[in-house]
Amino acid sequence: MIRKTVLRVVSKALIPFIALFAFYTQFHGDYGPGGGFQAGVILAAGVVLHGLIFGLAETRRVLPPRVVEVGAALGVLVYGGTGVLCVLLGGNFLDYDVLPEVLGMGGQHLGVFLVELGVGLTVSSVMVGILGAFSARGREL
């Protein structure tokens, strides 16, 4: 792809907009259609585009595998931690009514926001991890 100048320039211009649309989908998900899963897949698609155009070695330099692993674990921790926090506050697992109001967000809104954030982080990290696992298959990098 080094000689494909048009593809490199267009993808370099598109990747920030793909990430911006993923963040819009993530943060708009509790108000309308969309949410963590969709945002995670959209963000991972931007990383896959980067890997296809600029090469997997460059993508691994920009987004190291350790960051991907930590992102997946952190997303599950945020999701599960939200449920455990609800239990510790006297409710059921993921019973958002017991969550306090934080920064003007009621308990329901805060709970949905945290769960969708955890799902988005996990999905994007796992999708990028799958890309890395399949791309390294049969090769030593």
Task: Return phi, psi of residue 136, to 5°.
Answer: -90, -5
pLDDT score recorded for residue 30: 64
Full-model pTM: 0.87
C-alpha to C-alpha distance for 3 and 108, rounded to whole angstroms? 52
C-alpha to C-alpha distance for 130 and 47, rounded to whole angstroms? 12
Scanning the chain, the segments in alpha helix (DSSP H) are 5-28, 36-54, 56-62, 65-88, 107-135
Between residues 107 and 127, which one has the greater pLDDT?
127
C-alpha to C-alpha distance for 56 and 136, rounded to whole angstroms? 9
Contacts of 119 (CB under 8 A, 6+ apart): 35, 36, 37, 40, 75, 79
C-alpha to C-alpha distance for 61 and 139, rounded to whole angstroms? 17
**Collapsed DSSP state (helix, strand, coil) of residue 102:** strand
pLDDT score recorded for residue 141: 47
| Least trusted range by pLDDT, from 91-100, 102-111, 120-129 | 102-111
Q: pLDDT at residue 128 above 90? A: yes
Q: pLDDT at residue 32 above 80? A: no
